Amino acid sequence: MNAHLPPHTHTATPAGQQLRQLRRQVGLSQLDLALITGISQRHLSCIETGRARPSPATLHALLMALDAPLEQCNNLFLAAGYAPRYGALPLTSPSLEAIRGAIGHVLQANNPAPAIVLGSQWQVMAANASTAALFALLGLPVDAADDLNLLVTLLQPGGLGDHLLNADEIRALAWQRAFREALENPELAALLAGLPKPSGLAVLGNQAPPLVMTRIDSPEGELSFLSTFTTFGMPLDITVASLRIEHLIPADPHTWQVMTQAYEHSMRTSASVG
Protein backbone atom coordinates (compact mmCIF):
# COMPACT_ATOMS: atom_id res chain seq x y z
CA MET A 1 0.00 0.00 0.00
CA ASN A 2 1.35 3.43 -0.87
CA ALA A 3 1.14 6.46 1.35
CA HIS A 4 -1.60 8.90 0.51
CA LEU A 5 -0.40 12.42 1.06
CA PRO A 6 -2.33 15.66 0.87
CA PRO A 7 -1.77 17.54 -2.38
CA HIS A 8 0.78 20.33 -2.24
CA THR A 9 -0.70 23.47 -3.65
CA HIS A 10 0.59 26.97 -3.04
CA THR A 11 -2.36 29.10 -1.98
CA ALA A 12 -2.37 32.87 -1.82
CA THR A 13 -3.08 32.87 1.92
CA PRO A 14 -2.63 36.38 3.36
CA ALA A 15 0.49 36.86 5.48
CA GLY A 16 -1.50 37.79 8.59
CA GLN A 17 -3.60 34.65 8.39
CA GLN A 18 -0.46 32.52 7.99
CA LEU A 19 1.09 34.20 11.03
CA ARG A 20 -2.03 33.52 13.09
CA GLN A 21 -1.94 29.86 12.07
CA LEU A 22 1.74 29.58 12.99
CA ARG A 23 1.16 31.24 16.36
CA ARG A 24 -1.66 28.87 17.20
CA GLN A 25 0.37 25.86 16.10
CA VAL A 26 3.09 26.65 18.63
CA GLY A 27 0.53 27.39 21.35
CA LEU A 28 1.24 31.09 21.90
CA SER A 29 -1.36 33.74 22.63
CA GLN A 30 -1.18 37.13 20.94
CA LEU A 31 0.02 38.58 24.25
CA ASP A 32 2.76 35.95 24.54
CA LEU A 33 4.06 36.63 21.04
CA ALA A 34 3.83 40.40 21.52
CA LEU A 35 5.92 40.20 24.70
CA ILE A 36 8.54 37.96 23.05
CA THR A 37 8.98 40.23 20.02
CA GLY A 38 8.53 43.59 21.71
CA ILE A 39 5.63 44.79 19.55
CA SER A 40 2.25 45.76 20.92
CA GLN A 41 -0.55 43.23 21.08
CA ARG A 42 -2.79 45.72 19.27
CA HIS A 43 -0.33 45.98 16.36
CA LEU A 44 0.02 42.19 16.21
CA SER A 45 -3.76 41.85 16.09
CA CYS A 46 -3.89 44.32 13.20
CA ILE A 47 -1.21 42.37 11.34
CA GLU A 48 -3.03 39.07 11.78
CA THR A 49 -6.34 40.50 10.59
CA GLY A 50 -4.73 42.25 7.61
CA ARG A 51 -5.43 45.77 8.82
CA ALA A 52 -1.70 46.48 9.09
CA ARG A 53 1.25 45.40 7.00
CA PRO A 54 4.31 44.33 9.00
CA SER A 55 7.66 45.86 8.15
CA PRO A 56 10.35 43.38 7.04
CA ALA A 57 12.05 43.72 10.46
CA THR A 58 8.79 43.07 12.33
CA LEU A 59 7.95 40.11 10.11
CA HIS A 60 11.43 38.69 10.65
CA ALA A 61 11.11 39.06 14.43
CA LEU A 62 7.73 37.32 14.45
CA LEU A 63 8.91 34.42 12.28
CA MET A 64 12.05 33.86 14.37
CA ALA A 65 9.97 33.86 17.57
CA LEU A 66 7.65 31.29 16.00
CA ASP A 67 10.65 29.17 14.85
CA ALA A 68 9.17 28.96 11.35
CA PRO A 69 11.02 26.89 8.72
CA LEU A 70 13.01 29.14 6.39
CA GLU A 71 11.09 28.07 3.29
CA GLN A 72 7.87 29.03 5.06
CA CYS A 73 9.50 32.34 6.03
CA ASN A 74 10.16 33.01 2.35
CA ASN A 75 6.52 32.27 1.54
CA LEU A 76 5.39 34.71 4.21
CA PHE A 77 7.69 37.46 2.96
CA LEU A 78 6.23 36.95 -0.51
CA ALA A 79 2.69 37.02 0.87
CA ALA A 80 3.49 40.30 2.63
CA GLY A 81 4.77 41.81 -0.61
CA TYR A 82 8.51 41.49 0.02
CA ALA A 83 11.28 39.56 -1.71
CA PRO A 84 12.24 36.17 -0.22
CA ARG A 85 14.94 36.60 2.42
CA TYR A 86 16.63 33.20 2.56
CA GLY A 87 18.62 31.40 -0.12
CA ALA A 88 19.59 27.76 -0.56
CA LEU A 89 23.28 27.51 -1.33
CA PRO A 90 24.71 24.16 -2.43
CA LEU A 91 26.70 22.50 0.34
CA THR A 92 29.79 22.78 -1.89
CA SER A 93 29.57 26.57 -1.90
CA PRO A 94 32.68 28.40 -0.58
CA SER A 95 30.36 30.29 1.78
CA LEU A 96 29.56 27.04 3.59
CA GLU A 97 33.17 25.99 4.14
CA ALA A 98 32.79 26.35 7.91
CA ILE A 99 29.67 24.16 7.80
CA ARG A 100 31.51 21.44 5.87
CA GLY A 101 34.37 21.61 8.35
CA ALA A 102 32.00 21.27 11.30
CA ILE A 103 30.28 18.30 9.67
CA GLY A 104 33.60 16.56 9.04
CA HIS A 105 34.66 17.12 12.65
CA VAL A 106 31.41 15.76 14.07
CA LEU A 107 31.49 12.68 11.81
CA GLN A 108 35.10 11.90 12.70
CA ALA A 109 34.52 12.46 16.41
CA ASN A 110 31.61 10.03 16.39
CA ASN A 111 33.79 7.04 15.41
CA PRO A 112 33.58 4.15 16.24
CA ALA A 113 29.84 4.87 16.31
CA PRO A 114 28.09 5.35 12.94
CA ALA A 115 26.97 8.85 11.95
CA ILE A 116 25.34 10.13 8.75
CA VAL A 117 24.38 13.53 7.38
CA LEU A 118 20.85 13.73 6.02
CA GLY A 119 19.33 16.31 3.68
CA SER A 120 15.73 17.46 3.47
CA GLN A 121 14.65 14.41 1.42
CA TRP A 122 16.46 12.00 3.79
CA GLN A 123 19.29 11.61 1.29
CA VAL A 124 22.63 10.64 2.85
CA MET A 125 25.02 13.49 2.05
CA ALA A 126 27.99 12.21 4.05
CA ALA A 127 28.84 9.38 6.43
CA ASN A 128 31.74 8.44 8.67
CA ALA A 129 34.00 5.39 8.43
CA SER A 130 32.01 3.52 11.07
CA THR A 131 28.92 3.66 8.88
CA ALA A 132 30.83 1.89 6.10
CA ALA A 133 32.16 -0.60 8.68
CA LEU A 134 28.61 -1.37 9.82
CA PHE A 135 27.45 -1.82 6.23
CA ALA A 136 30.32 -4.19 5.56
CA LEU A 137 29.45 -6.17 8.68
CA LEU A 138 25.87 -6.60 7.43
CA GLY A 139 26.95 -7.58 3.91
CA LEU A 140 25.67 -4.36 2.36
CA PRO A 141 27.79 -2.51 -0.23
CA VAL A 142 30.34 -0.46 1.71
CA ASP A 143 29.94 2.47 -0.69
CA ALA A 144 26.13 2.31 -0.53
CA ALA A 145 26.05 5.45 1.59
CA ASP A 146 27.48 7.40 -1.36
CA ASP A 147 24.11 7.19 -3.13
CA LEU A 148 21.68 6.26 -0.39
CA ASN A 149 18.37 7.56 0.87
CA LEU A 150 17.78 6.53 4.47
CA LEU A 151 14.00 6.50 4.09
CA VAL A 152 14.19 4.28 1.01
CA THR A 153 16.63 1.79 2.52
CA LEU A 154 14.48 1.53 5.65
CA LEU A 155 11.10 1.12 3.94
CA GLN A 156 11.87 -0.77 0.74
CA PRO A 157 12.61 -4.52 0.85
CA GLY A 158 16.24 -5.42 0.30
CA GLY A 159 17.66 -2.47 2.25
CA LEU A 160 18.86 -1.75 5.75
CA GLY A 161 15.34 -2.26 7.10
CA ASP A 162 15.60 -5.99 6.41
CA HIS A 163 18.41 -6.24 8.98
CA LEU A 164 16.40 -4.69 11.81
CA LEU A 165 15.09 -6.93 14.57
CA ASN A 166 12.41 -4.31 15.35
CA ALA A 167 11.80 -3.39 11.72
CA ASP A 168 8.07 -2.69 12.11
CA GLU A 169 8.70 -0.23 14.92
CA ILE A 170 11.57 1.64 13.24
CA ARG A 171 9.84 1.75 9.86
CA ALA A 172 6.67 3.11 11.44
CA LEU A 173 8.55 5.83 13.32
CA ALA A 174 10.51 6.82 10.19
CA TRP A 175 7.35 6.90 8.06
CA GLN A 176 5.46 9.03 10.59
CA ARG A 177 8.30 11.53 10.87
CA ALA A 178 8.70 11.74 7.10
CA PHE A 179 4.94 12.18 6.66
CA ARG A 180 4.96 15.19 9.01
CA GLU A 181 7.93 16.70 7.21
CA ALA A 182 6.33 16.04 3.82
CA LEU A 183 3.42 18.35 4.66
CA GLU A 184 5.79 21.26 3.93
CA ASN A 185 8.12 19.46 1.51
CA PRO A 186 6.65 18.51 -1.90
CA GLU A 187 9.79 16.63 -3.00
CA LEU A 188 9.72 14.46 0.11
CA ALA A 189 5.98 13.95 -0.34
CA ALA A 190 6.56 12.60 -3.86
CA LEU A 191 9.26 10.25 -2.58
CA LEU A 192 7.14 8.99 0.30
CA ALA A 193 4.13 8.40 -1.96
CA GLY A 194 6.15 5.81 -3.89
CA LEU A 195 7.27 3.86 -0.82
CA PRO A 196 5.36 1.08 0.97
CA LYS A 197 3.42 2.18 4.02
CA PRO A 198 4.74 0.19 6.99
CA SER A 199 2.51 -2.37 8.63
CA GLY A 200 3.74 -1.40 12.10
CA LEU A 201 1.90 1.92 12.35
CA ALA A 202 -0.81 0.34 14.46
CA VAL A 203 1.83 -1.16 16.75
CA LEU A 204 2.86 2.27 17.99
CA GLY A 205 -0.60 3.43 18.97
CA ASN A 206 -0.64 5.31 22.26
CA GLN A 207 1.80 2.92 23.92
CA ALA A 208 5.00 4.09 22.22
CA PRO A 209 7.99 3.87 24.58
CA PRO A 210 9.80 7.09 25.54
CA LEU A 211 12.90 5.94 23.64
CA VAL A 212 13.17 3.43 20.80
CA MET A 213 16.42 1.61 20.12
CA THR A 214 17.55 0.55 16.65
CA ARG A 215 18.16 -3.19 17.00
CA ILE A 216 20.21 -4.76 14.19
CA ASP A 217 20.66 -8.44 13.45
CA SER A 218 24.34 -8.91 12.57
CA PRO A 219 26.75 -11.88 12.21
CA GLU A 220 28.18 -10.75 15.58
CA GLY A 221 24.78 -10.98 17.26
CA GLU A 222 22.28 -8.27 18.11
CA LEU A 223 23.56 -4.70 17.96
CA SER A 224 21.58 -2.01 19.78
CA PHE A 225 21.87 1.70 19.10
CA LEU A 226 20.37 4.88 20.50
CA SER A 227 19.62 7.49 17.86
CA THR A 228 20.29 11.19 18.40
CA PHE A 229 20.32 14.15 15.99
CA THR A 230 22.53 17.21 15.62
CA THR A 231 21.27 20.28 13.77
CA PHE A 232 22.77 23.72 13.19
CA GLY A 233 21.61 26.51 15.46
CA MET A 234 20.25 29.76 14.02
CA PRO A 235 20.61 28.82 10.33
CA LEU A 236 20.03 31.57 7.77
CA ASP A 237 20.22 29.32 4.70
CA ILE A 238 17.64 26.74 3.68
CA THR A 239 20.26 24.09 2.88
CA VAL A 240 21.90 24.46 6.29
CA ALA A 241 18.52 24.47 8.04
CA SER A 242 17.57 21.16 6.41
CA LEU A 243 20.76 19.33 7.42
CA ARG A 244 20.79 16.95 10.33
CA ILE A 245 23.40 14.51 11.54
CA GLU A 246 22.08 11.23 12.89
CA HIS A 247 24.28 9.54 15.46
CA LEU A 248 23.83 5.85 16.21
CA ILE A 249 25.29 5.49 19.70
CA PRO A 250 25.96 1.89 20.85
CA ALA A 251 23.60 1.13 23.71
CA ASP A 252 25.51 -1.71 25.37
CA PRO A 253 29.11 -2.96 25.84
CA HIS A 254 28.72 -5.70 23.22
CA THR A 255 27.70 -3.20 20.53
CA TRP A 256 30.56 -0.88 21.50
CA GLN A 257 33.02 -3.77 21.22
CA VAL A 258 31.74 -4.95 17.84
CA MET A 259 31.72 -1.44 16.38
CA THR A 260 35.18 -0.66 17.74
CA GLN A 261 36.59 -3.83 16.18
CA ALA A 262 34.78 -3.22 12.87
CA TYR A 263 36.00 0.39 12.73
CA GLU A 264 39.60 -0.53 13.58
CA HIS A 265 39.54 -3.29 10.94
CA SER A 266 38.28 -0.86 8.31
CA MET A 267 41.05 1.60 9.24
CA ARG A 268 43.74 -1.07 8.94
CA THR A 269 42.31 -2.16 5.59
CA SER A 270 42.24 1.42 4.31
CA ALA A 271 45.82 1.97 5.46
CA SER A 272 47.08 -1.19 3.74
CA VAL A 273 45.30 -0.29 0.51
CA GLY A 274 46.68 3.23 0.64
Residues 148 and 250 in one domain: yes
Residues 44 and 112 in one domain: no
**Triad 37, 38, 40: Cα angle to 5°:** 110
Convert the pLDDT of each residue in 158-213 to its tens digit: 889 999 999 998 999 999 999 988 987 889 999 999 999 987 666 555 555 667 89
Residues 174 and 213 in one domain: yes
User: What is the average pLDDT value for the chain, to the nearest integer?
Assistant: 88
Q: Tell which of 79, 111, 128 closes a domain.
A: 79
Q: Is residue 3 part of a domain?
A: no
Integer Cα distance of 35 and 17 in angstroms? 20
Stretch among 1-10, 74-83, 188-197, 246-255 having the lowest mean pLDDT: 1-10
CATH value at residue 164: 3.30.450
Integer Cα distance of 44 and 25 in angstroms? 16
**Phi, psi torsion values for 222, nearest 5 degrees:** -70, 135
Q: Tell which of 49, 79, 109 closes a domain.
A: 79
Taking each helix axis from N to C terminus, what angle separates 41-49 and 30-37, rounded to the nearest 10 degrees?
120
246: enclosing H helix or E strand: strand 244-250
Judged by DSSP in three states, 202 sits in helix
More confident residue, 246 or 143: 246
Residues 43 and 168 in one domain: no
Using CA atoms, how far residue 107 sits from 36, 96, 102, 131, 207, in Å, is 36, 17, 9, 10, 34
Longest dimension (CA), the chain: 71
What is the reported pLDDT for 144? 52
CATH value at residue 71: 1.10.260.40
Are 34 and 41 in contact, with CB atoms under 8 Å apart?
Answer: yes
Integer Cα distance of 192 and 227 in angstroms? 22
Range(s) of the domain holding residue 239: 94-273
Q: pLDDT band for position 142 (50/70/90)? A: low
Are 175 and 198 in contact, with CB atoms under 8 Å apart?
Answer: yes
| Number of domains within the chain | 2
Give burial (CB, 10 Å; 0-12/13-18/19+) of 125: middle
Residues 98 and 64 in one domain: no
Q: Is residue 231 part of a domain?
A: yes
Hey, how many other C-beta atoms are within 10 angstroms of the C-beta on 2?
10
Convert the pLDDT of each residue in 17-73 to its tens digit: 999 999 999 999 999 999 999 999 999 999 999 999 999 999 999 999 998 888 889
Hey, how many other C-beta atoms are within 10 angstroms of the C-beta on 237?
19
Which amino acid, residue 145? A
